[in-house]
């Protein structure tokens, strides 16, 4: 069903980019098509040089995303998943279906983010350092976790996609360095 790997990533400005601004529909049937879609999304991450990809970004308005932060972390980095402390390498790539963020906590941290749907663009985004989450895997098993660091940031970024948001909606706006109109010197054409 998803023979085209890597999948085409929907970019802002594409004819079908409106999917990026719509709330994704919950997954109601955990079957081979969902497993196939998640596998195709995982296979799309590496050549795209990404660490997260939401279903709307590949043209499917479904509440699911994949995250693989392994290239961004150390071998000993851990997270809490289903009540146990586990190495992040053992849970990534992570498939999150019908995810929820049940609690945001820790400091609010500014960090530069990018997005596969906005190639080449980057901006500083304020996000909580840690999140408590719930999600389902491809088999319909429910999981809970507490994520921090880059895993937390990536989960929040991808979760935003499912609500029809892009990171640019949260970007840290810099104060303008333009001279106010009242102080501009008037010039006349010669």
Show which residues are catalytic: 158
DSSP letter at 130? E
Q: Tokens 């990026």 map to which residue?
A: 20
Beta bridge partners of 65: 54, 96
DSSP letter at 39? H
Beta bridge partners of 100: 134
Q: Tokens 């660490």 map to which residue?
A: 51
Question: How many of the other CB atoms lie within 10 Å of CB of 84?
Answer: 9
């Amino acid at each position: 069903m998803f023979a085209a790997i890597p999948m085409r990533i929907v970019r802002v400005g594409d004819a079908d980019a409106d999917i990026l601004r719509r709330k994704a529909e919950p997954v109601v049937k955990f079957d081979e098509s969902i497993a196939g879609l998640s596998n195709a999304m995982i296979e799309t991450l590496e050549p795209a040089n990404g660490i997260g990809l939401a279903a709307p970004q590949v043209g499917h308005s479904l509440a699911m995303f994949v995250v693989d932060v392994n290239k961004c972390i150390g071998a000993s980095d851990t997270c809490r998943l289903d009540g146990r402390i586990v190495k992040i390498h053992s849970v990534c790539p992570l498939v999150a279906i019908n995810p929820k963020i049940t609690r945001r906590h820790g400091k609010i941290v500014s960090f530069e983010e990018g997005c596969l749907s906005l190639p080449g663009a980057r901006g500083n985004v304020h996000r909580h350092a840690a999140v408590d989450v719930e999600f389902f895997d491809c088999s319909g098993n429910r999981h809970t976790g507490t994520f921090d660091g880059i895993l937390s940031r990536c989960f929040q970024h991808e979760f935003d996609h499912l609500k029809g948001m892009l990171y640019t909606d949260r970007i840290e706006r810099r104060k303008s360095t333009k001279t106010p109109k009242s102080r501009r010197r008037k010039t006349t054409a010669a």
